Structure 1
Amino acid sequence: MSWQTYVDDHLMCDIEGTGQHLTSAAIFGTDGTVWAKSASFPEFKPNEIDAIIKEFNEAGQLAPTGLFLGGAKYMVIQGEAGAVIRGKKEAEDLASKKMVKPCVWNLVDEACAPDNDWGKVG
């Protein structure tokens, strides 16, 4: 299975039979390269991705300035140092989960976040 198929069929699918789904999703390499992304994933600047990848290695870098993706600013909220980064912007939540090589990113409208579990990926 390709990474694009994983995004399309597994990340962008119906959430637990609720009829709701993520707003967008992407898988990036830890070097910042895009492995796959949904059509709705925000257009981003390489420096935005670099800053988020750096946060995994040096936790606390984004908290003072915020996390930027597609020019939008997200407030960094509690995550798991080196493993999960969470952000919030109005009624939208962002989660990034670092794995061995890829990072999986989800964007979801908070109305469809089941039990605020949106950041628990893979």
Structure 2
Amino acid sequence: MSWQAYVDTNLLGTGKISKAAIVGLAGGVWASSPGYTLSADEQKTIVSAFNDPANTQAHGIRLAGQKFFTLSANDRSVYGKKGGDGCVLVKTKQAVLVAEYTAPIQAPEATPVVENLADYLIGVGY
């Protein structure tokens, strides 16, 4: 399966995720939803967010020009909120899954979609 198919089918296709991307830990966007552009600085911040969760917690995370308040951050996952919308970032062995959801979708609906895909990718070596 192509990386784009994971974004289109496993994330956007659930109806719970509105925008998504897969960012390689070594740099570069492997796949993204149409019109969802993460700047080079945003990509670096996304990858480094897991190295210093306390800093991510303190400063939030910026995705496609939108700043999200960080609800929680650890070495695997970052959860953010902006008004009624939110984001879920999950690190795998080689990439970070970046997903945004919009109200009325809530975190308990969107988070398992991203976490489960991350578990699958980790299980197959990615």
Partner of 2:6: 6
Q: Is the 8 A contact 1:22 1:107 kept in 2?
A: yes
Q: Are 2:90 and 1:97 equivalent residues in the alignment? A: yes
- Give the alignment of 1:1-122 within 5 angstroms: 1-14=1-14, 20-41=15-36, 43-79=37-73, 81-113=74-106, 116-120=108-112, 121=115, 122=117
1:26 partner amino acid: A
Q: Is the 8 A contact 2:16 2:110 kept in 1?
A: no
| CA distance in 2 between partners of 1:100 and 1:9 (Å) | 21
Aligned residues: 114
Structure 2: 5+ residue stretches without partners: 118-126
Return structure 1 stretches of 4+ with deviation > 6 angstroms. none
Distance 1:101 1:51, change over 3 A: same
Query: Pairwise CA RMSD of aligned residues?
Result: 1.7
Q: What's the TM-score, normalizing by structure 2?
A: 0.80
Structure 1: 5+ residue stretches without partners: 15-19
Q: Is the 8 A contact 1:77 1:88 kept in 2?
A: yes
| CA distance in 2 between partners of 1:99 and 1:86 (Å) | 15
Structure (1 or 2) with the greater helix fraction: 2
After TM superposition, give the deviation of residue 9 of structure 1 in Å. Answer: 1.6
Q: Is the 8 A contact 1:84 1:119 kept in 2?
A: no
Identity between Structure 1 and Structure 2 (%): 25
